């Protein structure tokens, strides 16, 4: 069971119902004892009446006289009580008419005991000594049993009722008790690397939950400060590296222009220039990512139907694909208005097509589909390559992640990270899925539709782009 609230509610219901059930069982035995001792008292009172009826000369009476005197005095109770008089260890001197010749049950050595009488059922019997005679008085326990059965039925109904009520009240109580925990969970869920400044609201009390929230908040403080340090370092390092790198490039170019190098030296310098260009691109990409994270860049949005823009892009993509011996197909459908920065969305599309080209076999096909859903513009690029296992499909959007077997040695593993940053600036999403056609990868991005002009103010204000990816 995954919910702590439900577990607590069930535990609470079990404990309270079990407690009530134990109380009812204890009550059952106490009430039973109480009623039986009441019957014992009745038997005793009846015996006193019998003794009084027999008179002080009872020792001299014969069986007929005893019968006659007892009948005279116990007429009124003849329905309620079964009476038997016998000599100690001897024959019966008197047996009340309702016994119909049957003998009352006897338990040797016991003065008050339960027994059964055919045709009557359970009896409570009292055995009293009167000189040399034993007087036994029995009363049916039928009424007592009826009361006890009623008690048991009512108890069972009440226990069931208690079970239902305690489950409901347990669920309500656990919801109330766990509300602060849910709040912590929701806030902690929000806090990601791009909004590390958010904190869990803490009540002004000193209980376990608010102490936990304070602990988490101080952990987020530390996390935010180390994240900021890393960001500052990346931004500053990238920036600082740009100038010396330009100088190295200039020196290398100068060497080439001045001439006088052997062919082997010239080749080495060319190689250097290529690597410098690659390094420069990585530095610029890192700088771009840092600036997006620091919200220091603002896209230049246009709100329009992106179909024309996409058709222009597909012409370039087709040329790129055909150059690599790969087919390019497109299905562009629907009409709608989207607020987007054409330069940056083109950058995303180029990243995706470049990836698809890297992993597509010669003769394969790259398919681009674009459509409008209820609330977004959805573009997907799908290839025939080896694809990416499902568990790695989120990881490839992290920086510098290049999967094993990435055939192309060039590439820094920043393309998809940058694409995700750009989509983030557009309030959109980008994800990788399995291809619908075969083994390949399908990367889909979505940008929300700008419903009316009213949607635009929700986007960041227009500003000059300070860098390009």
| Token reading at 459 | 């986007």
- Chosen from Mg ion, ligand ATP, none, partner binding at 172 (C-beta under 5 to 8 Å by type): none
Beta-carbon contacts of 399 under 8 Å, excluding residues fewer than 6 positions away, are: 289, 413, 414, 417
Site string for Mg ion, 362-401 (x = CB under 5 A): ----------------------------------------
- Chosen from ligand ATP, Mg ion, none, partner binding at 414 (C-beta under 5 to 8 Å by type): ligand ATP
Q: Tell me the helix, strand and coil percentages in the chain, rounded to 5.
A: 55, 15, 30
Q: Which stretch binds ligand ATP (CB under 6 A): 95-103, 155-163, 231-239, 395-403?
A: 395-403
Q: Which stretch binds ligand ATP (CB under 6 A): 58-66, 146-154, 327-335, 412-420?
A: 412-420
Binding test (CB under 5 A) with Mg ion, winner from 138, 385, 415, 469 = 415
Strand order in the sheet with 112-117: 92-95, 81-87, 133-140, 121-130, 112-117
Site string for ligand ATP, 357-386 (x = CB under 6 A): --x-----------------------x-xx
Binding test (CB under 6 A) with ligand ATP, winner from 5, 180, 415, 428 = 415
Binding test (CB under 5 A) with Mg ion, winner from 355, 360, 376, 421 = 355
Distance CA 282, CA 248 (A): 16
Q: Are 127 and 136 in contact (CB under 8 A)?
A: yes
Q: Are 370 and 305 in contact (CB under 8 A)?
A: no
Nearest CB to ligand ATP, comparing residues 396 and 422:
396
End-to-end CA distance of the chain: 48
**Size of site (CB under 6 A) for ligand ATP:** 22
DSSP 449: B
| Site of tokens 């979505």 | 446
Nearest CB to ligand ATP, comparing residues 87 and 394:
394
- Chosen from ligand ATP, Mg ion, none, partner binding at 412 (C-beta under 5 to 8 Å by type): ligand ATP
For strand 112-117 and strand 92-95, is the pairing parallel, antiparallel, or unpaired? Answer: unpaired
- Tell me phi and psi for residue 71, to 5 degrees: -60, -35
Q: Is 127 helix (H, G, I), strand (E, B) or coil?
A: strand
Q: Which residues bind ligand ATP (CB under 6 A)?
A: 351, 355-356, 359, 383, 385-388, 396, 401-403, 406, 411-417, 441
Q: Which residues bind Mg ion (CB under 5 A)?
A: 355, 415
């Amino acid at each position: 069971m995954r919910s702590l609230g439900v577990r607590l509610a069930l535990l609470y219901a079990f404990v309270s119902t079990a407690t009530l059930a134990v109380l009812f069982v204890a009550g059952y035995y106490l009430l039973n004892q109480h009623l039986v001792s009441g019957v014992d008292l009745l038997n005793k009172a009846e015996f006193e009446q019998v003794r009084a009826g027999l008179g002080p000369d009872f020792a001299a009476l014969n069986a007929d006289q005893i019968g006659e005197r007892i009948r005279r005095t116990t007429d009124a109770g003849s329905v309620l009580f079964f009476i038997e008089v016998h000599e100690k260890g001897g024959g019966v001197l008197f047996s009340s008419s309702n016994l119909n010749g049957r003998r009352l049950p006897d338990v040797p050595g016991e003065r008050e005991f339960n027994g059964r009488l055919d045709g009557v059922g359970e009896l409570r019997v009292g055995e009293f000594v009167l000189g040399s005679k034993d007087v036994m008085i029995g009363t049916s326990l039928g009424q007592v049993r009826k009361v006890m059965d009623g008690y048991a039925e009512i108890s069972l109904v009440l226990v069931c009722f208690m079970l239902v009520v305690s489950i409901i009240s347990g669920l309500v109580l656990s919801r109330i008790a766990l509300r602060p925990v849910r709040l912590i969970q929701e806030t902690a869920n929000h806090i990601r690397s791009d909004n590390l400044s958010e904190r869990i609201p803490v009540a002004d009390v000193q209980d376990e939950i608010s102490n936990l929230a304070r602990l988490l908040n101080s952990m987020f403080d530390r996390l935010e400060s180390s994240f900021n340090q890393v960001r500052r370092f990346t931004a500053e390092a990238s920036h600082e590296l740009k100038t010396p790198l330009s100088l190295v490039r200039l020196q290398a170019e100068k060497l080439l222009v001045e001439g006088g190098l052997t062919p082997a030296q010239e080749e080495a310098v060319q190689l250097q220039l290529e690597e410098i260009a690659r390094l420069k691109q990585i530095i610029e990409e890192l700088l771009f990512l840092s600036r997006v994270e620091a919200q220091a860049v603002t896209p230049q949005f246009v709100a329009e139907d992106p179909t024309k823009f996409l058709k222009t892009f597909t012409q370039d993509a087709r040329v790129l694909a055909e150059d690599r011996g790969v087919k390019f197909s497109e299905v562009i459908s629907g009409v709608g208005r989207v607020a987007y920065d054409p330069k940056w969305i083109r950058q995303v599309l180029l990243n995706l097509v470049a990836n698809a080209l890297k992993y597509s076999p010669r003769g394969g096909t790259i398919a681009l589909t674009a459509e409008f859903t209820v609330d977004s513009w959805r573009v997907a690029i799908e290839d025939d390559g080896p694809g990416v296992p499902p568990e790695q499909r989120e990881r490839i959007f992290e920086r510098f992640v290049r999967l094993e077997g990435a055939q192309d040695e060039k590439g820094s593993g920043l393309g998809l990270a940058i694409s995700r940053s750009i989509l983030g600036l557009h309030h959109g999403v980008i994800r990788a899925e399995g291809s619908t056609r075969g083994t390949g990868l399908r990367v889909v991005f979505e940008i929300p539709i700008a419903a009316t002009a009213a949607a635009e103010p929700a986007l960041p204000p227009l500003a000059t782009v300070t860098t390009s990816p």
